Amino acid sequence: MTGLPRAMLVLGGARSGKSRHAESLIEAALAGGACDGATYLATATAAADDAEMATRIAEHRQRRGPAWRTVEAPLDLAGALAEHSTPRRPVLVDCLTLWLANLMFAGRDVDAESARLVAALQDPAGPVVLVSSEVGLGIVPDNALARAFRDHAGRLNQAVAACVPRVVFVAAGLTLTLKDE
């Protein structure tokens, strides 16, 4: 109906253009009249802990127009998807790696929450576009927490990529389709 798959993953490094690409996919569906609006599930909260993060949030909000509704979902992403996904209102989740950091900081069971998310992506009520950072392409981190984060992120990205029909990688604003079923 919207030209978007049931779910897709947009991967990339920091400032690669992955969020902008994900937004453009949904904007195209909005422009074509295939949907009634869009929901942005933000894993960051508007009450960011630092000025730099607050600036990033403001930039993202400014890029999106009035057709977008923003919902903060820093921890219960599977529940937010179930609540806000509808056939004519695609959902953009930005981003999975920040969500993962939130889970780790809150002491949540990352594997259980990841499994809940993958289950929610099996049959969402409407299209879902997920954004995630590819953090495993650099050097091996020098501390256990950073290595655990990198490992969890790699496993999360693999699990989501396995369950969605489309995966794209963004580098320097250019997209490479990794999977398109």
The residues that are catalytic are 60
Nearest to 119 by CA among 178, 164, 181, 179: 164
- 4 vs 34: CA distance, rounded Å: 10
Cα-based distances in Å from 121 to 110, 124, 143, 171: 16, 6, 32, 25
Q: What is d(CA 110, CA 102) in angstroms, rounded to the nearest whole number?
A: 10
Distance CA(9)–CA(123), nearest Å, equals 15
